[in-house]
Structure 1
Amino acid sequence: MADTVPIIDFSAYGLQITDRDSVSNSELDILASNVCQALSTVGFLYIKNHGMPQKKIDDFFRINKTFFTQPECVKATCESPTGGLNGYQGFAKERLDLSKPGDLKESFNYTSYDGPIDIQWPVSVLGMGAAYDEFYEQSTKLSLRILDVISLCIGFSDRNFLRNCHQSFGSRKSPGTLRSLYYPPLPASASIEPGQLRCGEHSDYGTLTLLFQDKCGGLEVC
């Protein structure tokens, strides 16, 4: 098994191609083969030339940094009033590995489905709601294109096979979740419990995860 995560050039089917039907299956053969090789060996892959402008990604990171550096009393107003997933989750409130103490991070969650989104947006961070709406929409479009390629790589002649299997995506039957994670600096005096991590070991629960990182790195995959 390879010990590095492969980098896949997605330019043949990226979002910069506005009409996906203009790309034939034969034109996607090499892309599908590379994706299949990565997912059937390493299980993870990097994609480049995916069509989501870097400026949009940077702007989304920036607006989240603005939120997470607000006073705690401001962020607390964005917690779910019902204890649900949507909205802000405070430092060490989440445990992805239930056998370990709370993760040393904060998060903001946006779960979209066919109905009103029960999120209290902070008035002090202008445009945060619109930024999440747009980033969710673009990430969904890219996810579906990746599923199209996976359909071809596992042998279906119809690239829409997995797309059609996910027709409930974005509904209450199959909500998609956009999560922003923040790992604040830990003071030297911070008390860290045995086994406590920034983000506990876990397996994601959906069909596909898109992960956008900053330049700090730190992700580990197995």
Structure 2
Amino acid sequence: MGSVEEKPPVSIPVIDFSKWDNPSTPSERVAIAKELASACHNVGFVSIINHGVSPALLEEAFGWSKKLFDLETEQKMKAPHPDGPTVHRGYSWPGLEKVSQVISSDAEVGEKLRAVTDCKESYEIGSEENDEQPNVWLPEEVLPGFREFMTDFYWTCSQTSQEILKAIGLGMNLQDPDFILKFHSGHNNQLRLLHYPPIPAAQLENELSARMPAHSDWGSITMLFQDDCGGLEVENQHVPGEFIKVTPLKNAIVMNIGDLLMRWSNDWLKSTLHRVTLPPASDRFTGEERMTRARYSIPYFISPDIDARIEVMPECATEGNPIKYEPVVQREYRLMRAKLQYPEKAPQAVTASG
């Protein structure tokens, strides 16, 4: 692997990606790639600015997200998330999904986890050509133009993700810098619209409810767009159990490494635990109940193609760092991680939010 500076992080690195597409010299492109790879090695998270997804497009995307979540529950339920963890598409109402780092097929374990409700709602979108994950769209008359915009936005995000994967491969000094990219057609990615409705801060402080518990992502990388509310925290790789607050940076991508790219790299790249909790005190509503602000974010999960076989890259295994992982197929890994995420039979949506 390429040499990188080893240092304990105190914040999330910020990388200006503008010279990746328009380098003054080839060496500037390499410098961006090495900076990105170093951040992914030391931290697992990085904020990327000037990444190619325009501020105007992001503003429009968040506008559509707010329109969606402002709908009445009955309207959103015209595109319900399917029962069980196999297909991850459509609308998930507050309390349906349970995020955790626990891997188990025991339904009782899932019930215990669900005793603390995740107070969020989401809408999942994928490629129209992914037959294993068919989209669940709202009827056009419910939100005219939503499907067309989100389909185009999905592929804009995919294009940006491919440039990031190229840069990571170059920064790692892979023999073939485009090796990782070859497993990512874009058809197995997932666009997620997320809304965290206001709730009393005490519910989160007393762990009676959660926003998003600590977890790692299951794919290759994740690109996150977020509003200015705050609340995202990332575990310090050098001090387990210590979480670093991620200060929202307008129009930036917060990019993190997922489990499968960590496996490919034999742990050289870090799939870091992260969570969403209370926003900073200055960003909370005041009042007797101390209500949290509503939070909106748009993660875009980049995964290898469904049948992709993930095995440690030769450059990432040495005598001092032998292979840590057996090969795994993306489909099998996703299903293993998803077992407790959604119940086999979904409870009725009773919470209206927006």
CA contact (8 A) 1:25 1:159 kept: no
CA distance in 2, matches of 1:80, 1:182: 15
Match 2:179 to one of 161, 164, 189: 161
Cα distance, 1:130 vs structure 2: 1.2
Matched, 1:218 2:231: yes
Which residue is equivalent to 1:120?
137
Matched, 1:54 2:55: yes
Which residue is equivalent to 2:152?
134
The one-letter code sitting in structure 1 at the alignment partner of 2:119 is: L
CA contact (8 A) 1:63 1:125 kept: no
Cα distance, 1:162 vs structure 2: 1.4
Spell out the pairing of 1:90-101 with structure 2 (5 A cutoff).
90-97=93-100, 99=113, 101=116
Which residue is equivalent to 1:31?
32
CA distance in 2, matches of 1:88, 1:212: 19
Superposed CA RMSD in Å reads: 2.6
CA contact (8 A) 2:127 2:189 kept: yes
Query: Deviation string for 1:40-74 (max 9, x for gaps)?
Result: 11110000011111110111011110110111110
Structure 2, unaligned stretches of length 5 or more?
1-7, 101-109, 236-354
CA contact (8 A) 2:126 2:154 kept: no
The one-letter code sitting in structure 2 at the alignment partner of 1:105 is: K
Which residue is equivalent to 1:111?
126
Give 1 or 2 for the bigger CA radius of gyration. 2
Cα distance, 1:186 vs structure 2: 2.2
The one-letter code sitting in structure 2 at the alignment partner of 1:9 is: D
Label 1:72 to 1:149 Cα distance change in 2 as closer, same or farther (>3 A).
same
Task: Count residues with an aligned counterpart.
Answer: 211
Match 1:204 to one of 211, 217, 226: 217
Moved runs in structure 1, 4+ residues, more than 4 A? 22-25, 187-193
Deviates more, 1:38-47 or 1:73-82: 73-82
TM-score by length of 2: 0.55
Q: Percent identity?
A: 31
Question: Helix, strand or coil for the counterpart of 2:36?
Answer: helix
Query: Which structure has more strand as a fraction of its residues?
Result: 2
Deviates more, 1:196-205 or 1:183-192: 183-192
TM-score by length of 1: 0.85
Question: Helix, strand or coil for the counterpart of 1:221?
Answer: strand
Question: Helix, strand or coil for the counterpart of 2:219?
Answer: coil
